Structure 1
Amino acid sequence: MARVVDVHTHYVPRGWPRLGEDGTAPWLRLESEREATIMVGSSEFRRILANCWDAETRLEEMAEDEVDVQVVSPTPVFFSYDRTPADGVRIAKVFNDLALEICEPAGGRLVPFCQVPLQDPDLACAELERCLAAGHRGVEIGNHVGDRDLDDAGIVTFLQHCASTGVPVFVHPWDMPNSPRLNRWMAQWLTGMPAETHLSLLAMILGGAFDKVPDTLKICFAHGGGSFAFWLGRLENAWYERQDLVGVSEQPPSSYLGRFSVDSVVFDPSALRLLVDVLGVENVLLGSDYPYPLGERPVGQVVRKAQFLSEPARELLLGGNAARFLSLPEEVAR
């Protein structure tokens, strides 16, 4: 039986030291041994359960969903890109070290990804190296740093470093725009997150990042790549018809297919089929957004039930593609 590997899950430690003196840093309000609330200053950000920090609980729920391996990444609210580089690296070290403590009891079935102070490329590269030496297997980054997108020179420098060392990169949207229109119905999450991911892929293509980064870069975008697959035809048409504004990459947008992967968190077989048709069966990796409410449970149910997939294709989506992305040892199994 092929391994099932979930590349998109998050963790939150059960506690951490005080991060700042200005009253805006995230902290955890414990409600009980099994429940807590992430606080940002005096505001409630998200209620969470023990499956965010407890390896035994995660492994039990992985068994329920027949998942063999999880990539365990930071929760983006902790990225701290808006703080000074010194604060950013200090906070990254706190959470990266706690992530190893969460994953350690799982015998290799929980694969830790670190965070870095992306606002400073030199510090980001240094923290990545520290984390790789300590046991992290990859890095999760936010899709922008303020108004700097993934084609920013400093971020490209970091991605070049990841390519040179073979480190897998998982890109997660965060810090979505805020307005009265977006503050209803979780619209920031329902429209803002897909739009942010789509915009970041445009930056990688039209901003020339893919032209500057070696094709050895292993990079995966969350939430099915946002709306990119659906609107690739519009982007391609614009590249040809408005060369003065859009035709800025070395190649047409479709030429960059195969340079990146996306996860499968799209919740509908028709949407999954679009991803497979547009991006290729080898570029879609199982993801769930576990353990948060907008994630998929049981994990992988859309992939498992998709009638259009052949069994070899299903095995690639459930774990084969992710195992390659992570360079996962063969011995890590159910």
Structure 2
Amino acid sequence: MTELPRIISVDDHVIEPAHLFETWLPKKYRDRGPKPLTAGIGELAYVGGKYQITMDPKGPPTDWWIYEDLKFPYKRNIAAVGFDRDEMTLEGITRAEMRRGCWDPVERLKDMDANHVEGSLCFPTFPRFCGQTFAEAHDKEVALACVRAYNDWMVEEWCGDSGGRLIPLCLIPLWDIGLAVAEIRRNAARGVKAVTFSEIPTHLGLPSIHSGYWDPFFAVCQETGTVVNMHIGSSSQMPAASPDAPPAVQAALSFNNAMASMMDFLFSGVLVKFPRLKLAYSEGQMGWIPYALERADDVWEEHRAWGGSGT
């Protein structure tokens, strides 16, 4: 029987090792950069569609990152491999409790072999899906150094000895278009072909893709063959019907962000200006695509006189 071809996964995730910033961040920034900490976590409260997280010395041991005024814990549901579905909770977790492949590239390759995966592109966890953690930081000099340190770790350590099976996915400094373009070029020069970006930048307080602000970014991505990767939740908002709806509602509706993002791109003119630009949506599902394209065609045919278009 012919063996099925192994898959290329563009929706994997990595847990950052505790040594990342101590190793890769320049020394002059380390006292102001992210620091690992193991401490107890309190009970999580889900209020208005967001989680309220507290430290509690009496709570279960949890691995955290401490950065400026941010306290970021790792939770079991984001390092869920090896747990039964009913154990994939929001409780805190330490790296010692995780499957080692969550943060060790050698072990990740073994896990990929077991899971019939040839290549894997991994989104960040502590920086969030498109680097929002650093975009929200107060000290942008340190934040830029953190973006570069993460990318150096991603390229040199996480992917470096994988024989091309671990595919580097890099961050950009979202707050400065010139620095973002420079970071694309810096990474493209060493063979990087993927960057993570927000599905809906306006939700992060950034300019929309209709504004033209991001055109230099799209231009350099097209020029260097860098794929723009967008994960659900990279806009820091998930759709929900009601503010007090349970998280399952957000999860069931998560494809909406990808669909909204694709409509933005279709009617912005970006794909006309940059016809070789490649977009990838991760965890956005795909069953909606035929309907969305049909609807977009119908809107264009019937309503283009008043509907407006970037084209």
Give TM-score, length-normalised by structure 2.
0.65
Compared CA separation, residues 27 and 243, structure 1 to 2 (3 A): farther
Q: Provide the C-alpha distance between the structure 1 equivalents of 2:17 and 2:287, rounded to a whole number of angstroms.
A: 31
Q: 1:29 to 1:162 in 2, by over 3 A?
A: same
2:229 partner SS:
strand
Match of 1:130 in 2: 186
Q: 1:14 aligns with which of 14, 17, 22?
A: 17
2:122 is equivalent to residue 61 of structure 1: no
Q: Give the letter for the 2:278 counterpart.
A: K
Q: Bigger radius of gyration, 1 or 2?
A: 2
Residues 4, 225 of structure 1: alpha-carbon distance in 2 compared, 3 angstrom cutoff: closer
Q: Please say if 1:204 is aligned against 2:255.
A: no
**Distance of aligned partners of 1:149 and 1:71 in 2 relative to their CA distance in 1, 3 Å threshold:** same
Residue of 115, 120, 128 corresponding to 1:77: 128
Aligned residue type for 1:99: M
RMSD between superposed Cα atoms in Å: 3.4
* Residue of structure 2 equivalent to 1:143: 199
- Tell me, yes or no, if structure 1 residue 238 matches structure 2 residue 267: no
Separation (CA, whole Å) in 1 of partners of 2:146 and 2:252? 28
Partner of 1:320: none
Measure the CA separation in 2 of the matches of 1:218 and 1:6.
16
Cα distance in 2 for partners of 1:177, 1:108 equals: 33
Tell me, in whole angstroms, the C-alpha distance in 2 between the residues paired with 1:124 and 1:182: 37
Which residue in 2 is equivalent to 1:220? Answer: 280
Letter in 2 for 1:115: L
Q: In 1, Cα distance between the equivalents of 2:286 and 2:146? A: 28
Q: Secondary structure, in 3 states, of the residue corresponding to 1:164?
A: helix
Partners of 2:259 and 2:292 within 8 A in 1: no
**1:187 aligned onto 2:253:** no
* Distance in 1 of aligned mates of 2:183 and 2:278: 19
Deviation digits for residues 150-205 of structure 1, max 9, x if unmatched? 334222220111101222221223201587636613433432x3122111111111
Residue 133 (structure 1) shift:
3.0
Deviation at 1:125, TM superposition (A): 1.2
Q: CA deviation at 1:30?
A: 4.8
Q: Is the 8 A contact 1:140 1:169 kept in 2?
A: yes
Q: Which amino acid aligns with 1:82?
A: E
Paired residues in the alignment total 243
Tell me if structure 2 keeps the 8 A contact 1:139–1:167: yes
For residues 117 and 242 of structure 1, what CA distance do their matches in structure 2 show? 37
Counterpart of 1:159 in structure 2 is 218
What is the Cα deviation at residue 96 of structure 1?
1.0
**CA distance in structure 2 between the partners assigned to 1:134 and 1:111 by the alignment:** 12
Q: 1:89 and 2:144 equivalent?
A: yes
Give me the whole-angstrom Cα distance separating, in 2, the residues matched to 1:4 and 1:226.
Answer: 19
1:271 — aligned with what?
none
The structure that is helix-richer by fraction is: 1
The one-character-per-residue Cα deviations of 1:1-43 (angstroms, maximum 9, x if unpaired) are: 645322222223212448999x9x9765558xxx964568346
Q: CA deviation at 1:88?
A: 4.2
- 1:244 CA drift (Å): 4.2
Q: Which runs of 5+ in 1 are unaligned?
A: 251-334
| AA aligned opposite 2:214 | I
What secondary structure is seen at the aligned counterpart in 1 of 2:237?
Answer: coil
Is the CA contact 1:163–1:218 (under 8 Å) kept in the aligned structure 2? yes
Q: 1:237 to 1:62 in 2, by over 3 A?
A: same
CA contact (8 A) 2:185 2:224 kept: no
Greater CA drift, 142-151 or 119-128: 142-151
Distance 2:306 2:111 in 1: 49
Aligned CA distance change for structure 1 residues 58 and 152 (closer, same or farther; 3 Å): farther
Q: Is the 2:199–2:258 contact (alpha carbons within 8 Å) kept by the matching residues of 1?
A: yes
Q: In structure 1, what is the Cα distance between the partners aligned to 2:34 and 2:246?
A: 23
| Structure 2 portions without partners, runs of 5+ | 40-60, 80-97
Query: What amino acid is aligned across from residue 149 of structure 1 in structure 2?
Result: S
Question: How many Å separate the matches in 1 of 2:162 and 2:115?
Answer: 16
CA separation of 1:38 and 1:126: change in aligned 2, threshold 3 A: same
What does residue 103 of structure 1 align with? 159
Q: Which residue pairs with 1:118 in the alignment? A: 174
d(CA) in 2 for partners of 1:43, 1:108? 31
Which structure carries more relative contact order (alpha carbon 8 Å, separation 6+)?
Answer: 1
**Identity among equivalent pairs (%):** 23
One-letter amino acid of the structure 1 residue matched with residue 165 of structure 2: R
Equivalent-residue separation in structure 2 for 1:198 and 1:38 (angstroms):
33
